[in-house]
Amino acid sequence: MSLAPEALQPARAAALRAERDPVALLRLPVYGACALLCLCVNYTLGNDIAWDTINHHYYAGFSAVHDRFSQDYFAAGPQTYLNPYAYVPFYGLVSAGLTALQASSLLAIVHSVFLWLVYELGVCACPSAPARTRTVIGLCAVFLGALDPSLLDQVGTSFSDITTGTLVLAGWLLLVRAIQVPALVPVLVGGALLGAASALKLTNAVHAVAAAALLVWLQRPWSSRFRFCAAYAGTVGVAFVALSAPWSYRLWQQFGNPLFPMLNNVFRSPEFTTQPWVALRFIPAGLGQALWRPFALVNPIPMVDYELIRADVRYAVLTVLGAVLLTRWLWRRIRAAASASPLTSPDTGSRVLAALGAGLTLDWILWLVSSANARYFLPMAAVAAVVLVALLFQLLGRRPNVRNYLLAAILGTQLLQTWMAADYRGGPDPLPWNGPWLKISVPAALTVEPNLYLSSGSPSTSFLATHLDAGAGMIDFSGSYALGPEGASGTRVKALLRRYAPRVRVLVEGERLYTAAEGRAPTRKGLDQVLARFSLRVDPTDCQTIWAHGLPPPLEVLVAGTDPGPADATPYLTCRVVSDPEAYQRLMAEQAPMDTALDHLEDACPQLLQARRPLTEHIGSKWRRVYFNTDLAAWVFNGELKLADTLRGDDPIDLGPLKDWEKGPLPLVCGRRDGRYFARVLSR
């Protein structure tokens, strides 16, 4: 059967239009350029072995493939139990034996899809504009979106923010397409993508909620919009449950909380704090700081919304443009009201841009109050780039020269900030690309003996679990979240100790047990201090060293004349531990006044010392508590109470003698000012 010539003409006309459409013509070249850019950025920044990679990323992929619930407990701290499926590709590439460059390059190519979607979203932002204009908007949006230090820093790495952020962008793109041509299918598929992104990384739930604002701008009656929103919400929920179910079911079995340790203030598992787990590191301290945040990001300093130094002018410019647009809209409404002339309804192009602006604004607010961490805002940073460029074209469409100069100034400023005013992974001396991502040398005896390893230190040693005997277990009992012998967690730890006894070992960073005179860790006394809470001590006659080749060099101060060990390897010491029934009683007798004083300090400053009542650890000469919501640590040293920000490295705050705090809470003024914590004891 053949088609009539007149039937072929519309198809040929459509094909000719596609050939002349610059959007379609440039699609493949743009995609290729984005992939090449990501490969070049990844290679230039160097091999990345980040703190998070060692602490939990590699272990997460490993635990997703291998069931570790029966033999591990908090092996990578609280992050052990976050949904691990997003890290399976990274674990698969590394475990397949690829070199660091090969594995990272493949990840960089996958990450380039993020920029592909920025181009597509930019093209859709002003659908009523000519094709050539839409193409220019898309290209400028890609350029501006790529100039994000937080994005560039993660290209080719184990972080899942770009990978899951790609799903977020795809979902937003489909919802924008539904605004252009109202249809249910793109809404359902977009909801499924955003639900999947939220399941893989809970911080993406903010973007799924904010995306509902896009559907308000559908060109349909309000009753139909409500049905679309209901369908979207249902699809998000179904996709979230479907992708979370296998892991959440195991968490429910183990802890009674399907999202453990998140939302434990709702599910109240006894094996984690029931206080809200909210990282306050970057969240503004008040309304004034929140309103100033777009402009605070212009200053190239660390710890505003990212741990490293970075600067971003996009949000400040976008805030100004938004204010101008709002002022123009209000002025037109006032003039229309004065002249009694009806207001025209927005066309599709204005509707799409307004929807993106509304969704971005809602997302920004939700993000500020939930985390304010730039890593979790990557997809919306790309949307911000699209909205900024599209707004310039809409506001200055009749003044192309002014628009072009202003756009060039913004792109040039952001380029300079990204190049000169930002820190990236690896610093000035990144790790080399040669060889495997990580090479672990484990003594033969440890690969065939199913020991229980008690890990002490931060980051965790969970990445070593992949190279030990398959039956070996691991507990990170003294790291970012300290575990003690009491309560439900203590019961779980003691059960594992009984199950593995006498094959129980401690595992810490270090080549051997050092003496106090050598000024290096670990020492026998130091390990005995942290093991005493479980009535254990080190057996110094049975110690072995594991070597990890390829990690960044450890940060430590060496005493003159000591041997730093091989330059390209990090040692991890493991020693067998034995029972010491009297150790716990001795520890508690010494610790009682420290606990009393630290409890009183928490009562005097509950707004900073969160979550309350963490375990007190005896480390070296300090009795310390760590508050993971605020990154603060309080400790007793030489009879004095001190408080410090463990992340910013500020000087410790002296809070006075221990004996004064033992009597009760002292009058204390504490809080956060200009991004830094302060505390001062008032005179009585």
Spatial contact of 625 and 598, defined as CB atoms under 8 Å apart = yes
Instruction: Delimit the domains of the chain by residue range.
Output: 21-420, 439-581, 591-681
Lowest mean pLDDT among 12-26, 347-361, 570-584: 12-26
pLDDT of res. 6: 45
Contact 462, 57 (CB under 8 A): no
Q: How far is CA 88 from CA 85, 120, 443, in A?
A: 5, 28, 27
pLDDT higher than 70, residue 356: yes
> What mean pLDDT is predicted for residues 158-177?
97
Cα torsion angle, 181, 186, 191, 197, sign? negative
Q: Identify whether the C-beta of residue 578 lies closer than 8 Å to the C-beta of residue 536.
A: yes
The two tokens of residue 297 are 């990001």
pLDDT score recorded for residue 88: 97
Q: Is 356 left (phi over 0), alpha (psi -120 to 50) or beta?
A: alpha
Q: Model confidence at 148, in pLDDT bands (50, 70, 90)? A: very high
Q: What is the pLDDT of residue 606?
A: 93
pLDDT tens, residue by residue, 615-664: 999 988 899 999 989 999 999 999 999 999 988 878 899 999 999 999 99
Dump pLDDT digits (tens) for 90-124: 999 999 989 999 999 999 999 999 999 999 999 99
Amino acid at the residue 343? L
pLDDT at position 479 is 77
pLDDT of residue 341: 56
Burial 52-89 (b: 16+ CB within 10 A, else e): bbbbbbbbbbbbbeeebeebbbbbbbbbbbbbbbbbeb
> What was the pLDDT predicted at 117?
97
pLDDT in tens, 378-436: 999 999 999 999 999 988 878 889 999 999 999 999 999 999 888 898 766 777 787 78
pLDDT at 558: 34
Q: What is the predicted pLDDT for the residue at 436?
A: 83
Q: How confident is residue 553, by pLDDT bands cut at 50, 70 and 90?
A: low
Report the chain's mean pLDDT, rounded to a whole number.
90
Give me the pLDDT at residue 430, please.
Answer: 73
Residue 5 confidence class, pLDDT cut points 50, 70, 90: very low
User: What residues have CB less than 8 Å from 134, skipping those under 6 apart?
Assistant: 23, 122, 123, 124, 125, 126, 127
pLDDT of residue 348: 63
Question: What is the reported pLDDT for 449?
Answer: 94
Paired strand residues for 623: 618, 636
pLDDT tens, position by position, 554-575: 544 333 344 444 556 899 999 9
How confident is the model over 258-278, as a mean pLDDT?
94
Q: Residue 189 pLDDT > 70, yes or no? A: yes
Percent of the chain with pLDDT strictly greater than 70 = 93
Q: Per the structure block, which two tokens stand in for 287?
A: 């309304």
Q: What is the pLDDT of residue 271?
A: 95
What backbone torsions phi and psi does residue 461 show, to the nearest 5 degrees?
-100, 25
Q: In this model, does residue 544 exceed pLDDT 80?
A: yes
Rg of the chain over Cα atoms, rounded to whole angstroms, equals 28
**What single letter denotes the amino acid at residue 292?**
W
